Amino acid sequence: MKRVLKYILLGVTAVILYMLFFRDNHTGTPRPIRDYQAILQSGTLHAVTEYNSISFHVQGDSLGGLNYELLQAFAQSKNLKLEVTPETDFKKQVEGILNGEYDILANSVPVTRELKDTLLFTHPIILNKQVLVQRKPEYSNDSCYISSHLELAGKTIHVTQNSPSVLRIKNLSHEIGDTINIEVIEKYGPEHLLAMVANGDISYTVCDENIAINSLEGLPQLDISIPIGFTQFYSWGINKSNNVLLDSLNVWLEHYKETDSFKRLIKKYLPQ
């Protein structure tokens, strides 16, 4: 019962934060695809990201997160107002870029061949990889804890809705020559699934290593030692018609990544 109440509280908190900070930024109405000049003329940059401890979150009475602060720095350099919408469903993030609702998908997306067919990607911002999250042996029974990919045969991994990790899990299933079941949990982000693993409500999930490492202090029962994929470049995504915006972002990123400000952000938000 305590676990149920805990998750209800998390859900209610997320809804309240959305209403307080983000409701006015998200209309759900498709917009014409704005080129870079139209963005500058409007004075506002629209971005979508995921609400989590790395990318974008509330800190007291202000907002924080690596992608949020990077977006702010870029917007300020162009004299633009920044509007950010949090969205846990990756498919909806991509759809928002395709239908012109957002200008930038700033969720540090793993750059894959499949996604390159849909979006343009900026120069790499960080390196990251996906890891399997399970309970340590002392917190799980012998049949639950696994020490190799082959032991995932017949197991069920819970993921967020339309998570980019689904494709990697399916590929891994082919690689081990057996079925890995995938169960989708709607409306919750990766950190909620980490809590569910820690509390024994689900056995496995997959998420970005940086987010997983950030969770270990509060959830020491988690084991994140098994990578699900290789280390990849993570970038921002934009509409394929927005080459000028892409060029502007890339030029800015090349310069900004050499600054002390960027190094401070990396130290502030990413595990060292």
State pLDDT tens for residues 77-87. Answer: 999 999 999 99
**Contact predicate 206/186, CB 8 Å:** no
The count of structural domains within the chain is: 2
Task: Check whether residue 145 and residue 243 sit in a common domain.
Answer: no
Q: How far apart are CA 13 and CA 133, in angstroms?
A: 24
pLDDT at 236: 97
The pLDDT score that the predictor gives to residue 30 is 63
β-pair partners for 267 = none
Mapped to the 3 state alphabet, what secondary structure does 215-233 carry? HCCCCCCEEEEEECCCCEE
**Residue 234: count of CB within 10 angstroms of its CB:** 21
pLDDT at residue 103, as a whole number: 98
Whether residues 105 and 139 share a domain: the answer is no
Hey, is 29 helix, strand or coil? coil
Q: Which domain holds residue 152?
A: 130-227
153 and 94 housed in the same domain: no
What per-residue confidence (pLDDT) applies to 56?
Answer: 94
Same domain, 176 and 141: yes
CATH number assigned to the domain comprising residue 220: 3.40.190.10
pLDDT given at position 198: 95
Alpha-carbon dihedral angle through residues 61, 66, 72, 75, given to the nearest 10 degrees? -160
Residue 134's beta-bridge partner residues? Answer: 223
Same domain, 66 and 114: yes
Percent of the chain with pLDDT over 90: 74
- Comparing C-alpha atoms, which of 1, 27, 6, 33 is closest to residue 239? 33
How far is Cα 189 from Cα 163, in angstroms, rounded to an integer?
10
95 and 170, same domain (yes or no): no
One domain for residues 139 and 219: yes
pTM value is 0.84
For the stretch 172-201, pLDDT in tens is 999 999 999 999 998 888 999 999 999 999
Are 150 and 82 part of one and the same domain? Answer: no
My answer on whether 19 and 113 are in the same domain is yes
Same domain (yes/no): 40, 138: no
**Same domain? 119 vs 238:** yes
Contact between residue 135 and residue 144 where contact means Cβ atoms under 8 Å apart: yes
Residues 169 and 241 in one domain: no
